[in-house]
Structure 1
Amino acid sequence: MLVVETVAKIRRAYFVQHKPIKQICRELKLSRKVVRKVIRSEATAFRYTRSVQPAPKLGPWRDELDRMLAANTGKPARERLTLTRIFEALRGLGYEGGYDAVRRYAKTWKRQQASVTAPAFVPLVFAPGEAYQFDWSHEIVLIAGVTTTIKVAHVRLCHSRMLFVRAYPRESQEMVFDAHDRAFAFFRGTCQRGIYDNVKTAVETIFVGRERAYNRRFLQMCSHYLVEPVACTPASGWEKGQVENQVGLVRERLFTPRVRVRSYDELNALLLDGVVAYAKAHPHPEQRELTIWQAFEAERGALVPYAGRFDGFHAVPAAVSSTCLVRFDNNKYSVMASAIGRPVEVRAYAERIEIRQDGRVVAEHPRAFGRGQTVFDP
């Protein structure tokens, strides 16, 4: 293969010094064919590319190796075999060649598959008030000196990119209801559609395509706020890519370095201040002349008006003990003595517990999220 320096010498000798081809061949110890090739092509570099890679030992085993590679690619990441294991399996079937041939072939095969199946996406565009996206993330903070893993609800308006986040101890259904109400109260309205992951608190059954059987209480919430729920295709995060990106953004800007607070109320106040400050300081990704906050204020007029708080509770039946206590979620809560002997209904909200009997409230307490706690109200 000709190096770049030799090609340059040939070109200078012929075009500048006007030496004959015979003299150039003698001085550089090259054949006339090579010198003529350089002069006629006007190229400054040459690279030899083998059109066919001979594989005398691997050739008969290519179909089997293709099958192994395809089957291995289709497995979950943690179950995939290494190339060494695939080579050993091929040797066990009778292949007598070396590992290097298998490695080169696998590299070419992977490149070809990537060119065939490379994903491409069309950017989604949303009209004002058309849709919002909802998702959860897990973060680690220090609350009252204790390292705690919290769940953070994320809501994002698709048109203005305005974001809202709120922290909770869990991802239960009553937390979903509370997060929506606080987000819509902050936005002073909601959108026509809500785009969701297939979370169990919202979706009970996934059918073919986009058909879903939604949770009854979740549908009641959507009906209250006049929202049409839309669930994403499983494992298709790009369908709600804005809120997926928001998770990383919030983690970087609001949870790094690790946050230290005394309570959830203090943490949520910090998060609300943080998202407002971010929206006022950063330009809209498409309308560069506006900040996110300005685009949000312009979108407010197109939002569906806020319908007021949805009575978002999770109800379970319970029994009252002889000591006037009701067990719920690994904790005990006191009730009126008159409630003993008959079943009650525990209504769990995000921050409080309400206990009813025959439509009458017999107890109301702040909610406890530990284990083995007893909450009294004499």
Structure 2
Amino acid sequence: MELLSVIRRWHCRDHRPIREIERRTGLSRNTIRKYLRAQSIEPRFQVPERPSRLDPFADRLRGWLVLKAARPHKNRRTARRLHEDLVVLGYGGSYGRVAAFIRQWKPSSSTGARTGRSIAGHRVKLQVAHTRLSFSRAFILRACPLQTQEMLFDALTEAFRVPVGVPRRGIFDNMKTAVDRIGSGKARQVNLRFMALASHYLFEATFCNPAAGWEKGQIEKTVQDARRQIWQDLPAFPDLGAPCCSICSAASTSAPVSSSQPI
């Protein structure tokens, strides 16, 4: 745009010859003449139509985006996940092209959806406990109807049944099912039943500072990964005790391990 403005000023106002404009700009005479004959104040370029590898999959991706917009924000598949699903269908293009398509796509209307999972044909809202073992990187998800103390104990019991054993130390949130009162610093009044559980499995309980999620970053990442890998597909289960995947099925059938084994 700036170069075209300079060419027009030199030729129409200063009456400089095309040869001088050619020498100063480095453009060919034919290009300069084309700009001047067009009598346009901005350059126009004809972009050739180039087919995209995403074109055969555009309708499929558009349909996925419509379903994604109808879901709650936590249950929506990410652009990276959508690209991986397209690759399975035979898409050979880049992730950037898929991301650009998603940014340009606008839903016609936004609709909300209820959260929950289908259990025995009924829509049920579940609370999921996440346990992550630091050394082995194993993680266990345990779903329960309510966030009660029984849910906490059940989740820890199932986590300690995996083959790697029981940890020496556990880092926990300051949930009311384990902590009765938060004192200054690291002082905590721990629930007696939770203390009995820690004494039974012989692990030391450490509690994070309030609003300090970075102190347990591994479990925070596990929560994010579980939403994208498991819960976004809205799986249905025959009952509450059914495993959500083959990994959970293998963990649920493994034999208990001595509580003295460290990880």
TM-score by length of 2: 0.50
Structure in which a larger fraction of residues adopt helix: 2
1:223-244 Cα distance to aligned partner (Å, 9 max, x none)? 1001111010000011011011
Q: 2 CA distance for matches of 1:234 and 1:262?
A: 38
Matching residue of 1:225: 201
Report the CA distance shift for 1:248/1:194 in structure 2 as closer, same or farther (over 3 A).
same
Q: 1 CA distance for matches of 2:178 and 2:166?
A: 18
Matching residue of 1:208: 184
Does the 8 Å contact 1:195/1:240 carry over to 2? yes
Report the CA distance shift for 1:192/1:212 in structure 2 as closer, same or farther (over 3 A).
same
Q: 2 CA distance for matches of 1:204 and 1:177?
A: 16
Q: Structure 1 regions of 5+ residues with no counterpart? A: 6-138, 280-300, 307-378
Q: 1 CA distance for matches of 2:164 and 2:135?
A: 15
Q: 2 CA distance for matches of 1:302 and 1:160?
A: 16
1:184-228 Cα distance to aligned partner (Å, 9 max, x none)? 012452111110000000001101111101000000000100111
Q: Structure 2 regions of 5+ residues with no counterpart? A: 4-114, 252-256
Report the CA distance shift for 1:184/1:302 in structure 2 as closer, same or farther (over 3 A).
closer
* Matched residue count: 146
Q: 2 CA distance for matches of 1:302 and 1:265?
A: 24
Written as runs of structure 1 = structure 2, the 5 A alignment for 1:83-122 is none
Matching residue of 1:367: none
Written as runs of structure 1 = structure 2, the 5 A alignment for 1:367-378 is none
Root-mean-square deviation (CA), in Å? 2.8
| Structure 1 position 195 matched with structure 2 position 171 | yes
Q: 1 CA distance for matches of 2:192 and 2:172?
A: 16
Matching residue of 1:167: 143
**One-letter amino acid of the counterpart of residue 244, structure 2:** L
**One-letter amino acid of the counterpart of residue 232, structure 1:** C
Structure in which a larger fraction of residues adopt strand: 1
Report the CA distance shift for 1:302/1:263 in structure 2 as closer, same or farther (over 3 A).
closer
Report the CA distance shift for 1:302/1:144 in structure 2 as closer, same or farther (over 3 A).
closer
Percent identity at matched positions? 39
Match of 2:143, SS state, is strand
Written as runs of structure 1 = structure 2, the 5 A alignment for 1:325-344 is none
Matching residue of 1:250: 226
Compare relative contact order (CA 8 Å, sep 6+) and give the higher one, 1 or 2: 2
Q: 2 CA distance for matches of 1:305 and 1:174?
A: 24
TM-score by length of 1: 0.36
Q: Which stretches of structure 1, 4 residues or more, deviate above 2 A after TM superposition? A: 274-277, 301-306
Q: 1 CA distance for matches of 2:167 and 2:120?
A: 37
Matching residue of 1:360: none
Matching residue of 2:261: 305
Shift of 1:275: 5.2
Structure of higher CA gyration radius = 1
**One-letter amino acid of the counterpart of residue 263, structure 1:** D
Matching residue of 2:73: none
